[in-house]
Structure 1
Amino acid sequence: MFVGRQAQLARLEALLQQVRADKDSKPGRALLIRGRRRVGKSRLVEEFVDRADVPHVFFAASGRPVRDELHLFAQEVAASNLPGAELFSGVELAGWDAALRLLATALPDDGSVVVLDEIPYLVASDESFEGTLQRAFDRELARKRVVVIGIGSDLGMMEALNEYGRPFHQRATEMVVPPLTPSEVGDLLDLPAADAFDAHIVTGGLPLICNEWPTAMPLMDYLGQAVSDPTSALLVSGERSLAAEFPSDAQARTVLTAIGSGERTFTNIGRAADIPQGSLNRSLTTLVAKRVVAADEPLSTKPGSKDKRYRVADPYLRFWLAFLGPHLDEIERGRGDRVLARIRASWASWRGRTIEPVIREALERLAPPVLTGEDGVPGVVGGYWTRTNNPEIDLVVGDRAPVAKRVLALGSIKWLENAPFDRHDLGELHAHRTQLPGAAVDTPLIAVARSGCSVDGVEHFGPDELLAHD
């Protein structure tokens, strides 16, 4: 079942119509699509080409040697509905230059789509691929009424492909396919707002996992069902993502596992991973470049803070690393009940930390007046901490990040089942306001609480308000 993604589908359809109607001598267009692994990028494009009903070829690279990839590419084109597909029957391609030139001759005159999925694999296996693609596009493909779509899950590499100094610079537009938002997850699963946030931090907004979750089923019921099935998408997606992201980098996986277990500082991550400082630096650089790990910095008007905190960027992978990955052997032995018991025991404390970046993103999407500067521009939502965690402030809104010129607001997240934001929480927030660089005595205060707010003097946001404009 294909759900959502209407904005992305509309953009793809508009791009194809533009190509088909363009009177320019080079009507061809290129689009680079990126997004987290298993977020549904390939499924989106498959849906697009099915609806467009134009000749197309969809080639998914697999990370094999160049010769093997070329052989598979020829087979894929030969089996496609391109009018010149027979040109590829039984052909042995000498390289990507010859393959793309021959592809151009196989395209029709009235509109087509060429999809190169997992394009980072092609770049990694052939250092000349970017230049080859650029030349083929400029000389051949751009002269055709074709949309060339490159898809990739390596976020850092996909961003770099279109940067200044790279061969394909300014030849492609870009599209990011995000995970489903908490609101979209709630709509898909027919869950109330608070439960939609819970479902989001478990599934990460990945459509494949959401489609497995029975409509309106409570969280723990779904988890009990999932951990009793070793083939559940909730279980296998994490391992498959890591295997694809780090096929031979065991050290990066070790560091990622340490972060997933809850370690956040450089020192503690190194201690848990048991690797030297230099090796840790290299692994963290790789993980951040791939956008698998986020390196958060405290937000205030104080410059020069280097106290980074690391977290797994994808909520689903955070959940998998914390509760599922270390215990797959138990699930395979039929003891998913033990895994579920651990989740129940740690759920409240784990959720309290994991929900923070999700709440910050939801507030930025909501952009209420309290988060907006005098110039009408919505602020950036982050957090603030010191090396000793005194204070540690859940929400800080600045006019820019990580060093703000002005702090617009600060606040607290209290995401407990039956405990509203109360007088004690307000007193703590007042104390934090005096400790935050850039905050003034009249800086507005925000309370984000799952179970409501029992005091005045703060701008309160509950689950329903957070999803109002999600």
Structure 2
Amino acid sequence: MAFTGRRRELRILDSWLGKVRSPTGGSPGQALVLKGRRRIGKTRLVQEFCARSGVPYAFFQATRSQPAPLARQALFDAVAEGEGLREHAGALGHAAPPEDWVRSLAAVAAALPTREPSILVLDEVPWLAETDPGFDAALKTAWDMHLSAKPVFLLLLGSDLAMMDRLTSYDHPFYGRAGQYTVGPLNPADVRDVTELDAAAAFDAYLVTGGFPEVVTGWRPGEELSSYLARQLEDPSSVLLTTGERSLAAEFPARLQAGRVLRAIGSGERTFSGIAASTGGTGGQPLAHGTLAPILTELVDAKKIVAVDMPLSDRPAPKLKRYRIADTYLRFWLAHLENAVAQAERERGAQSLARIQKSWPSWRGRAIEPVVRDALLRLLPDAAFPDVFEVGGWWNRQNNPEVDLVGADAGPVAGAVHFVGSVKWHDDAPFDGRDLAELREHARHVPGAERAVPVAVTRTAPDARTRDDLAACWQPDDLLAAWNA
């Protein structure tokens, strides 16, 4: 499979390796914690980086529940077989590792080159800590006494975000010894490169695949959305159908309540009370507020699967928070695909496709909004809006009206609101005078927006008169440029 995208991530990794190549003082070695949700492509990214680096490297991938002695032997084998390391580390392949991690990592450090840079990758570090609670402290000792003295770039990878955060937190041994970087999915520009679609269609592909590499690469170059969905929905083992279920099973094994909360949000519930009510299902018992609150906290802060949005204006509104699935693919899967596996097994993929196509326009219109805001945050400030550093939306308690876009100097409480806007993501209905009049009417309700100018984001170009009345209008090609750097 050809490697596509990840230009920014590769640049960042190369800059860290550059610190090892040309040290400016302190320890010769550098360490970086690389985290990201399961199946997001961390391992593939780092493998590609190592292959391109031109320096010796060893890639060790832990196995879940593997006893620590076997893990240490596997580490020795990986280093002994590392690219360009056999001259230095070949003897490790015939050596029995010590009975603790400190001495084992010290032996690895001794086998690494002394005068040239090298890369050492430890993948799925949380699994090593699960089987040996002392691993974190041993890693700290081995780094301080042995590894950091070598010109080595140590990469620590993991999918358990909470455990990876703890690895470098203030009260843990490795604190202050490594940088941190979070690997996200492929961005919309990467998805466009893989699928070879135009900008508007590439955003559709991004909403469906979420940028998950293994899902995106199943898209044939230039293939229309309906054709891609038809192929995937016919096959109960297709990556589009199965990745969501596998992801939830890995993140929440036997966590039924968390699954109920995710499904409630995935079905469109956005408020705390609405989510609580929806978790009861048909005739079931809704989750009590005292039970729901910690689950939402875990989903937002630890798992980062759920995002919280606050209305943006110059007036605080902490009680008006809204929840949404942060993972774009999982949002699509929960809304459209969870039951499609059973349909595919009954050879009823066409029925699943018809159901998706029926709800697609309205679902897409809502799902594209956070993607648009992310794009504008990358594009702004610019010459037209030099003071816009925050882009959000605004709503009242009744969600009537809702304003899709608010550009301000800060958030969630702004000092000054500079623009209000609307997102119209229709295939064949341009933003027109009626849409502009509605936007202006809704903007009157946004606190602090008295001097704000109107803007729009449209999939289809607005008519000329309306375009002249807008302070700015961004279309798919404009938005995609936010990720093209």
User: Among residues 438, 453, 457, which one is paired with 1:448 in the alignment?
Assistant: 457
Residue ranges of structure 2 left out of the alignment (5+ in a row): 281-286
Contact kept, 8 Å, 2:60 with 2:123, in 1: the verdict is: yes
Residue identity in the other structure for 1:282: P
User: Among residues 229, 237, 242, which one is paired with 1:236 in the alignment?
Assistant: 242
C-alpha distance in 2 between matches for 1:265 and 1:222: 33
What's the CA shift for 1:340? Answer: 0.9
Aligned to 2:360: 347
Aligned to 1:434: 444
Work out whether 1:272 is the aligned partner of 2:278. yes
Residue identity in the other structure for 2:33: L
Q: Judge which range, 190-199 or 377-386, deviates more.
A: 377-386
C-alpha distance in 2 between matches for 1:208 and 1:404: 40
What's the CA shift for 1:160? Answer: 4.5
What does the per-residue CA deviation read over 1:216-268, in whole Å, with 9 as the maximum and x for residues that have no partner?
11111111111112332222222222222223423212211221122211112
Contact kept, 8 Å, 1:379 with 1:408, in 2: the verdict is: no
Aligned to 2:284: none
Residue identity in the other structure for 1:62: T
Instruction: Identify if the C-alpha distance between structure 1 residues 428 and 126 changes in structure 2 by more than 3 Å, giving closer, same or farther.
Output: farther
C-alpha distance in 2 between matches for 1:460 and 1:84: 59
What's the CA shift for 1:153? Answer: 2.8
Residue identity in the other structure for 1:446: V
User: Among residues 53, 72, 94, which one is paired with 2:99 in the alignment?
Assistant: 94
Q: Judge which range, 105-114 or 357-366, deviates more.
A: 105-114
Work out whether 1:392 is the aligned partner of 2:393. no
Q: Judge which range, 140-149 or 67-76, deviates more.
A: 67-76
Work out whether 1:183 is the aligned partner of 2:214. no
Q: Percent identity?
A: 46
What does the per-residue CA deviation read over 1:349-407, in whole Å, with 9 as the maximum and x for residues that have no partner?
110111110111111122264873xxx45421111112211221111112111111111
What's the CA shift for 1:172? Answer: 1.3
Aligned to 1:73: 75
Count matched residues. Answer: 466
Aligned to 1:414: 424
Q: Judge which range, 351-360 or 150-159, deviates more.
A: 150-159
C-alpha distance in 1 between matches for 2:260 and 2:159: 21
Contact kept, 8 Å, 1:298 with 1:385, in 2: the verdict is: yes
Q: Judge which range, 427-436 or 63-72, deviates more.
A: 63-72
Aligned to 1:287: 299
What's the CA shift for 1:347? Answer: 0.4
Aligned to 2:224: 218
Work out whether 1:119 is the aligned partner of 2:125. yes
Instruction: Identify if the C-alpha distance between structure 1 residues 69 and 248 changes in structure 2 by more than 3 Å, giving closer, same or farther.
Output: farther
User: Among residues 115, 127, 139, which one is paired with 2:145 in the alignment?
Assistant: 139
Q: Please, what is the CA RMSD of the aligned residues?
A: 2.3
Contact kept, 8 Å, 1:264 with 1:310, in 2: the verdict is: yes
C-alpha distance in 2 between matches for 1:75 and 1:122: 16
Residue identity in the other structure for 2:138: T
SS in structure 1 of the partner of residue 181 of structure 2: strand
Work out whether 1:207 is the aligned partner of 2:208. no
Q: Judge which range, 280-289 or 64-73, deviates more.
A: 64-73
Residue ranges of structure 1 left out of the alignment (5+ in a row): none
What does the per-residue CA deviation read over 1:110-166, in whole Å, with 9 as the maximum and x for residues that have no partner?
232111112233344544332221221111110112111011233444344334343
Aligned to 2:62: 61
TM-score, with length taken from structure 2: 0.89
Instruction: Identify if the C-alpha distance between structure 1 residues 144 and 369 changes in structure 2 by more than 3 Å, giving closer, same or farther.
Output: closer
Instruction: Identify if the C-alpha distance between structure 1 residues 59 and 254 changes in structure 2 by more than 3 Å, giving closer, same or farther.
Output: farther
Residue identity in the other structure for 1:276: A
SS in structure 2 of the partner of residue 191 of structure 1: coil
C-alpha distance in 1 between matches for 2:425 and 2:40: 27
Aligned to 1:245: 251
What's the CA shift for 1:288? Answer: 0.6
Residue identity in the other structure for 1:33: L
What's the CA shift for 1:413? Answer: 0.9
